[in-house]
Amino acid sequence: MTHIINGRKLAVKIRMQVKKRISSLAHIPGLAVLLVGDDPASHTYVRLKEKACKEAGIFFEKHLYPSNVKEENILSDIATLNERTDIHGILVQLPLPHQNTDRMIAAIDPQKDVDGFHPENIRRLDTDKPGIISPVALGIMKLITSTEKSFQGCSAVIIASPLFAHPIEVLLREYGIVSTIVSAQDPLLKEKTKTADILIVAVGKPNLITRDYIKSGAVVIDVGTTRVDNHIVGDVDRTSVESIAGWLTPVPGGVGPMTVALLLVSILKAYQLQK
């Protein structure tokens, strides 16, 4: 029987802890989110982040741009936010319509990069030095460890972009889990995923993964969020996979709430680094 991992329940505990910590600070931490275009899923996530920040006592500022905005306009705003002492975290909501993602992320002050994707934060993660780690990666790890499954001899497959997958790969390695990053277009995708004790999927292709891709008893982490007929659906076909997976994160209610909760932790860490 498949166990559904309740991300909302785990996230509530983390958010309460963060709120308590923030209430004792001398100043209010601040987050600025830059949102480009009109992707429904991105707007939904930003609303959830705004709500979580306000509930935790974090100042929230949103910068909206049309999908055809010039990169220089965004970079100019990032430079201003880098200098502001009331803003401790800067987040460019991904994916971007067509702007250069790497260029946008590299422009953020590493100590304000609460998404943890800046090259300096990646370098620090790789060399085991203090830095800001991707909230998504941290959230995924907390979901995986909540299963209390033994990781000895386990292997993982991550279906995602290298930028997204790398922090997860590093964190898995700390638990002795060897992982492989593969593309959704890999012709041997099914053969590779069926060997995985832990399968993490983040490609934005609804119901890409069915029971035929799953190893019996595997931990399946569904990061995908796509709006279909006014519903948010994941990359995993839950109905099909529930009969074979050992553990599964639902969409919604799995990775999403955990990512938002760990974002608050990242903002708090950024605040402490800057103070």
Catalytic residues: 49, 93, 115
How far apart CA 7 and CA 256 sit, in angstroms, is 8
What is the token pair recorded at 91? 């987040």
Is the separation of the CB atoms in 138 and 265 below 8 Å? yes
Nearest of 250, 247, 255, 217 to residue 236 by alpha carbon: 250
Query: Which residues of the chain form beta strands (DSSP E)?
Result: 3-4, 30-36, 59-65, 89-92, 155-159, 178-182, 198-201, 219-222, 226-228, 231-233, 247-248
For the chain, how are helix, strand and coil distributed in percent, rounded to 5?
A: 45, 20, 40
Q: Describe the crossing of helices 135-145 and 162-174 by its angle, rounded to 10 degrees.
A: 40
Bridge partners of 236, per DSSP, are 209
Residue 178, classified by CB atoms within 10 Å of its CB into exposed (0-12), middle (13-18) or buried (19+), is exposed
Residue 249 annotated as binding site: no
Nearest of 196, 147, 202 to residue 2 by alpha carbon: 147
- Residue type (1 letter), 91: L
Q: How many residues does the chain have?
A: 275
Binding residues for NADP(+): 225
